Amino acid sequence: MFSLDRAIISPVLVGRTREVALLETVLHTVQQGTGQLLLLAGEAGVGKSRLAAELRRQAAQHHWTILAGHCFERDALFPYAPIVDALRTLMGPLSAAVVADLCGPPAVELVKLLPELALTVADLHPTPVLDPEAEKRRLFEALFRFLIRLTESPRAAPLLLIVEDIHWCDETTLDFLHLLARRLPTLPILLLATYRSEEAAPTLHRWLAQLDRARLCRTIVLRALPPQAVQTMLQAIFALREPVRAEFLEPIYNLTEGNPFFIEEVLKALVAAGEVFYAEDGWTRKSMPELHIPPSIQDAVQRRTAQLRPEAQRLLTLAAVIGRRFDFDLLQQVAGYDEAELLALIKELVAAQLVVEESANHFAFRHALTRQAVYRALLGRERQILHHTIGAALEQSAGDAHVAVTSANDLPQVADLAYHFYEAGDWQKALTYSWQAGAMAQTRYAPRAVVEHCARALTAAQHLAQPPALAALFRLRGLAGETIGEFEQAHSDLAKALELAQAANDRPVEWQLLLDLGQLWAAHDYARTGDYLQQALTLARTLAGADEAAQRVPNQPTPLAHTLNRLGNWYLNVGQPQEALRCHQEALAIFQKLHDVPGLAQTFDHLGLMVYLGGNPVQGALYLRQAIAHFQTLEERQSLASSLTTLAICGPGYSTDSVVPAALSVAEATGSLVRALAITEAIGWRAGAAYTLISSGNILGTVGQYPQALAHVQRGLAVAEEIEHHQWICFAHRTLGILYRDLLALPLARQHLEQSITLARAIGSLFHVRQGTAYLASLLLAGHEVAEAETLLNNVFAPDLPCEALAPRRIWLARAELALAQGDPTLTLHIVDRLLAATVNVEGQERGAVPYLAKLRGEALMALRQWTEAEHEFQSALLTAQAQGTPRFIWPLRLALGKLYRAQRRHAEAAQAFDAARAVIGEIGATLDDRALRDNFVRQATALVPALRPPSIRQTAKATYGGLTRREREVAALIAQGHSNRAIAATLILGERTVEGYVANIMAKLGFSARSQIAAWVVEIGLGKDDRTTG
């Protein structure tokens, strides 16, 4: 838990896994006696000192001697400054006797650097001073000998010498470090030096070049943290279990650009200002219109800008008002300088480390925080004036303002116009440009930009005496809010837009908004969804009956057909598949009549989902492939991502294990999912990303990639919870329950399945209720909780429940398993045969085409002692499971075969089947990186595999001697001694015909045709007349 007294500093090292691994390698190398020079380079605040501290921690754990010194800005002309700092830090706490022993003979030279040694070490007299160069060399040797002593006394141990911030280091120290670097390879010394790459002086550049030419060093260049690492860092700082919401993470990342020090400083400023505060349920925040600039950053920028000429300061201010990036021509236009003057001033800004050149005409502030600090130093009125000047200049460069508004295709240019006129308070232009920028951002799938531009447009409209109709603007922002998962804001915007449309009697827009609201509520409450869609259907039929040319919504499919598709999807989720099919077929007929390609694409997508969930993933995949082809042509990326995901789960997976799946390989399915996820992330569609991630777990788990499956589903669950998408939260918990059931972590599986059912009931989805209930019932049966499973199933089961669709089939499967657990295999067989009869796409295939059904049928037949048929079911199911690569079925089928063979006393085959089951169990266990999960699975699964009794001596003998019984072996031994059948009969007191029978058996078992072969075999295996093996 976070302590209010704790500093705002990350308690863990984030985003440096590769670098830490290299540190460990270097430490090991030095510990073996080969010294190293390691350089850490990077901008200020990027984490060099933090990584150096990590190296120091690891060295301390291995009991190294550690010597650390720092360079400071004032030390550039102070020889040996970091060495002196390190020596004083080391010796300060020590007693005089320890210091004297530690220094040894080099003390006579070290006293020249540390005069206070003369007060500590008795009778210490420095050596006479030589000429400067000779004196330097002698001092170098003394320092070197002292470092050697540190590896030997007070104990033999490697030495870690850290010198931080050598960009401020004096030249003499650099010379000594170069000498040390040349001698390191034979010494147990690790020299670590850090420096800011952007502030390296010419002296340091030469020093680095010398090291590089001689290959005397390793260099780690630290980069700023990526967004995911910043996410982890924020979670660690505030001790958060859940991911940080995007609307908080993104401004932090954009302002700090992943610089760890800047992140901590910005967070300190937010906490100090009360924008982030600790409440009863943890850390929370206010809405942040803008981030505060930390005083430390403001002070650093002011110190840099104070060194600039007044003209350069004014130019820096103008550049800050333009933005983080600015181009030469615009800056020249607003500043009024000629090219030579402007170049000279920009070079001054570059030299001051405030600005960097990105190209010949484009420049940028080195850090976003630098630009913000300069910008915030202006008065509000100053900013307004400058923004208007810049906005006017941008308009002038774009030509006539009206032309720019109506025909500009350059989103950055329009966005700049919107920003500058908004900040200038020119509300009419701010509304015009912001609205246009929002619409353009929507076509480029940038939903957060849409929300930002629309917010500015709506604010600008509030300042106008006569604003235009705003329903479309509210809708634009509402749809973007839905995409990024902001339900409350999206609902507010769409409801406001509906209110405005109804007030204006704009019926086509009203219809569209009813449809939008129905879609929005689908993630939360199917009852509300149904209400909106029924209203939309009534209005759409009214519109369809009017003048179609006048009433059809511009750039949209026919309202009626579009509504029917949405309504069909709703019917499917509330458990009315026939109504769903009727709606989609009616929509398809309308779109085909109109040759409406976008409408057809959407209908194929809906039909694909419906037919797949209806129990025919093969046909569903065909529809989805048609939808995908159209969406690719139309560049409809959001729908494309959805269709790609649904196509993937039409193949072998958890949802299709009770039917014949579509013929998708694992590579094709995962390829579709990877492509879909990339699209959802590119367009910022978080609900789509959650759907794709959870569906990935459905596929990966089926093929035994459990760690990856769990990671994907948990990531999808986190996204769904963040955007409060209840349907996908429900889907994620169900999928996690199935995965943990596969891994025999039954309590965890039950927890997730129960959460899934609770959510399914809350949103009113009969589909999700049935799926979750069936899986939970099967889980309870696996745990031998038969009565509870029966009670649970009775809530959703009815004798007239159809057998075709996936959700009812799952209920029937659980009912069949219940019958088997209750000792009624005949009922189980009846149910499975009924399911098989309702299964499509099985023509011409073995019964094992659906391994789940074949396995269950085999278990029922085995209970009825119909051994041959049961074995056929198991074997055919195993062939399909192996072809699909689904270990979740392979090891239970091997186990079932083993039990079948054991029941028939086919012990060798049983042992072989059990061994094969154990092998697959071991293979699954080896993939699990969670030790507790792995150990539990292997233990639980192995316990299910019976341990066969060891064979008797008789059985062992038969196995050893070709299956011959004891009497047959006696006969064979006598044949080898040359006895005839009559002689054998006399010896063994048997009838001659009986002996003939034994001889025939021996030849049949051994595959021989002559007595001489028997004799040779007896000699070969050592079977003699004294063989007394019982059998």
Sort strands 218-221 and 36-42 into parallel, antiparallel or unpaired. Answer: parallel
The residue-averaged pLDDT of 310-329 equals 93
Class of domain 17-221: alpha beta
pLDDT for 221-262, tens place per residue? 999 999 889 988 988 888 887 777 777 788 888 888 888 888
- Choose among 159, 155, 157, 173: nearest CA to 70: 173
Sort strands 362-365 and 325-327 into parallel, antiparallel or unpaired. Answer: antiparallel
Fold assignment, 295-378:
Arc Repressor Mutant, subunit A (1.10.10)
∠ Cα 101 106 112 (to 5°): 115
- Whole-angstrom Cα Rg for the chain: 40
- Choose among 391, 378, 766: nearest CA to 580: 766
Mean pLDDT of the chain: 88
Half-sphere exposure of 309 (CA within 13 A, CB side): 12
> 414: which 2 tokens?
């329009």
Residue 288 has pLDDT above 60, yes or no: no
pLDDT at 471: 94
Whether 985 and 994 have beta carbons less than 8 Å apart is answered as: yes
Stretch (H or E) spanning 771? helix 766-782
Where do the structural domains in the chain lie, given as residue ranges?
Answer: 17-221, 227-285, 295-378, 953-1021
pLDDT for 643-696, tens place per residue? 999 999 999 999 999 999 999 999 999 999 999 999 999 998 999 999 999 999
The residue-averaged pLDDT of 989-996 equals 86
756/746 Cα distance (integer angstroms): 15
The number of angstroms, rounded, from the C-alpha of 403 to the middle of its chain's C-alpha atoms is 45
Label residue 1028 by pLDDT band (50, 70, 90).
very low
> 588: which 2 tokens?
């398809």
96/859 Cα distance (integer angstroms): 85
Label residue 29 by pLDDT band (50, 70, 90).
very high
> 943: which 2 tokens?
């316990």
Residue 220 pairs in a beta bridge with 40
Task: Identify the CATH number of the domain defined by range 953-1021.
Answer: 1.10.10.10
pLDDT for 805-858, tens place per residue? 999 999 999 999 999 999 999 999 999 999 999 998 877 666 688 999 999 999
pLDDT at 405: 45
Residue 365 pairs in a beta bridge with 355
Q: Of 121-125, 159-163, 611-615, 723-727, give the lowest mean pLDDT range.
A: 121-125
Residue 493 has pLDDT above 80, yes or no: yes
pLDDT at 2: 45
Residue 1001 has pLDDT above 90, yes or no: no
649/673 Cα distance (integer angstroms): 9
3-state secondary structure 844-902: CCCHHHCHHHHHHHHHHHHHCCCHHHHHHHHHHHHHHHHHHCCHHHHHHHHHHHHHHHH
How many other C-beta atoms are found inside a 10 Å radius of the C-beta of residue 444?
11
Contacts of residue 1027, defined as CB under 8 A and 6 or more positions apart, other chains included, come to 969, 970, 973
Residue 757 has pLDDT above 70, yes or no: yes
pLDDT at 76: 73
- Choose among 461, 415, 416: nearest CA to 438: 415
Provide the residue type at 539 as one letter: L
Burial class (CB within 10 angstroms; exposed 0-12, middle 13-18, buried 19+) of 310: exposed
Tell me the backbone φ, ψ of residue 161, rounded to 5 degrees. Answer: -110, 115
Q: Of 155-164, 196-205, 597-606, give the lowest mean pLDDT range.
A: 196-205
- Choose among 948, 489, 935: nearest CA to 723: 489
Structure-token match 């198991």, residue found:
874
SS3 state of residue 360? coil
973/984 Cα distance (integer angstroms): 10
Task: Report helix angle 597-613 to 559-573, nearest 10.
Answer: 10
Sort strands 36-42 and 189-196 into parallel, antiparallel or unpaired. Answer: parallel
Q: Are domains 17-221 and 295-378 of this chain identical in fold?
A: no
Provide the residue type at 751 as one letter: Q
Burial 825-863 (b: 16+ CB within 10 A, else e): bebbbebbeebbebbebeeeeebbbbbbbbbbbbbbbbb
Higher-pLDDT residue of 119 and 210 is 210
Task: Report helix angle 447-462 to 411-424, nearest 10.
Answer: 30
Q: Which of 108-117, 230-239, 379-388 has the highest mean pLDDT?
A: 379-388
pLDDT for 552-564, tens place per residue? 444 445 899 999 9
Percent of the chain with pLDDT over 70: 93
971/914 Cα distance (integer angstroms): 36
**DSSP letter (8 states) at residue 553:** P
